Amino acid sequence: MLSYRHGFHAGNHADVLKHLVLVSTLAHLNRKEGAYWVVDTHAGAGQYDLRGPQAEKLGEFRDGIGRLWGRDDLPAPLADYLAQVLAANPDGRLARYPGSPWLAARALRAQDRLRLFELHSSEVPALQACFRGAGRQVKVTAGDGFTGLKALLPPPSRRGLVLIDPSYETRADYGAVLQALKDGLARFATGIFAVWYPLLARTEARDLPGRLRHLPARRWLDVSLSVAPPRGDGLGMQGSGMFIVNPPWTLEAELRQCLPFLAATLGQEGAGRFSLDSREEKGE
């Protein structure tokens, strides 16, 4: 039984990092006229009410998007990301947070397509409602994104972004992420794959970035942002990371511009820090 609901965590530090990468990557894809597909394997509800009981219960958005809201000193890529969140809040008050599907749909042009998967029975109706009337451009599937991804790759356009963003609610998610990326690269070696992962004390979480780096990918970018000091009980998420295969050539420089600012702004108790590693193997 799935219990994870992203509404409790919407707009937190992990969303800031994930959606900064997403918005920057979509902007890069839009620089060329060729069509592309976006596949989101764990789409959630699409957008979230920050004044509702879920978001208010933990209030995580206050230490995430809340610390960026209204600021006019953001590095340019962060300002672009914030502009997308502002578009979901046209009256200027932070009341809703747009999830990855909403951000992706906003970037689409007429020739592009968005494919969304969500397994949680309580999230699917909200996701469907979010895209009611979108027609063939956006398709919502109630099901397992790990399984559904196989049938979509490679996309007809031969250009695309796959976002793999499970809750890691069970240990099985870690192995499923690795297998999905391995299979995805075999089918769509030139595609952009973006994997979100949590920074946790548990062994599977600590090992995942290293295991991702050993997959057969010529180019990757591994970025992490930690905002909280380790807890004595070893529980709780200290931060998160994004592992991007075939990243846009502009992305590393954009992240180097933003990460010091994010570490200083989102860090709690002086614990903000970041890492950014990359690999690019030259072809023969």
Q: Per the domain annotation, does 281 fall within a domain? A: no
Domain that holds residue 131: 6-270
| Structural tokens at position 178 | 């690795």
Identity of the amino acid at 189: A
What's the pTM? 0.95
Q: Per the domain annotation, does 276 fall within a domain? A: no
Q: Please, where are the H alpha helices in 74-171? A: 76-87, 100-107, 124-130, 145-152
pLDDT tens-place string over residues 75-107: 999 999 999 999 999 999 999 999 999 999 999
| Structural tokens at position 9 | 């965590």
Quick check: 228 and 238 in contact, CB under 8 A?
A: yes
Q: What is the CATH number of the domain that holds 95?
A: 3.40.50.150
CB atoms within 10 A of CB 136: 6
Comparing 103-107, 109-113, 230-234, which segment has the lowest mean pLDDT?
230-234
DSSP assigned state of 158: S
Q: Per the domain annotation, does 278 fall within a domain? A: no
Peptide bond into 154 cis (omega under 30): yes
Q: Per the domain annotation, does 279 fall within a domain? A: no
pLDDT at 232: 57
Q: Give the position of tokens 């799935």.
A: 2
pLDDT at 105: 97
Q: Per the domain annotation, does 277 fall within a domain? A: no
Q: Per the domain annotation, does 76 fall within a domain? A: yes
pLDDT tens-place string over residues 141-198: 999 999 999 999 999 999 999 999 999 989 999 999 999 999 999 999 999 999 999 9
Residues catalogued as catalytic? 165
| Structural tokens at position 200 | 């946790």
Domains identified in the chain, total number: 1
Burial of 210 (0-12, 13-18, 19+ CB in 10 A): exposed
